[in-house]
Amino acid sequence: MGSLRLTVCSAVLAVAALTPAAHAADGGGSVSVTPSSPAPGAEVALRVSGCSGKTATAASAAFVADARLTGSGGTLAGETRVRSSIRPGPYEVKVTCADFQVKGTVDVAVGGSSARPGGSASASPVAPVQAGGGGTARLAAADAREAGPGTGHAVTGLVLAGVAAVAVVIRGRRRNRGTG
């Protein structure tokens, strides 16, 4: 599997290096963020038009994590969360499509419903959970099976094997004393 990854990565790098610079420039698409002025910690929905592929990635310093956008027909959509510790103001959003980049902005507002009085922690997660969905769940399970047991499992197994060996020896000695 390692050589397959290396081959795919090499092919992607070769295509990226040979792609004309005109495709790397802004392709005339548009990015919309809903709500347009989210508060820190708020969830936002992203929509981009003009992408020819079925997936794209939206990145911004305002986001907790990059948003994965999916769709078809040139319109892709996805969701992410605004960092709860971010300062209000405009932040650039870069959406990387299959054939170009689309740029937009998100204007983080002051306060809002995500601000908690007294500094208490948020009741909902503020970062995306690394979990599979749909067909990717099978891939995540396969990766976990390939990893095998860790150090903790090995130590526990050795301790249990040692306890079993001691129990067999003690039981064997008790039987020998009783018969001899």
Q: Among 150, 81, 163, which Cα is nearest to 122's?
A: 81
Q: Among 32, 62, 57, which Cα is nearest to 47's?
A: 32
Whole-model pTM? 0.47
- Report whether 101 contacts 27 (CB < 8 A): yes
pLDDT, tens digit only, all 180 positions of the chain: 455 454 444 444 443 443 433 233 345 678 888 888 899 999 999 999 888 788 889 999 999 999 998 988 788 899 999 998 889 999 999 998 877 788 888 999 886 544 333 344 455 555 566 665 555 555 555 555 556 677 888 889 999 999 999 999 999 888 888 754
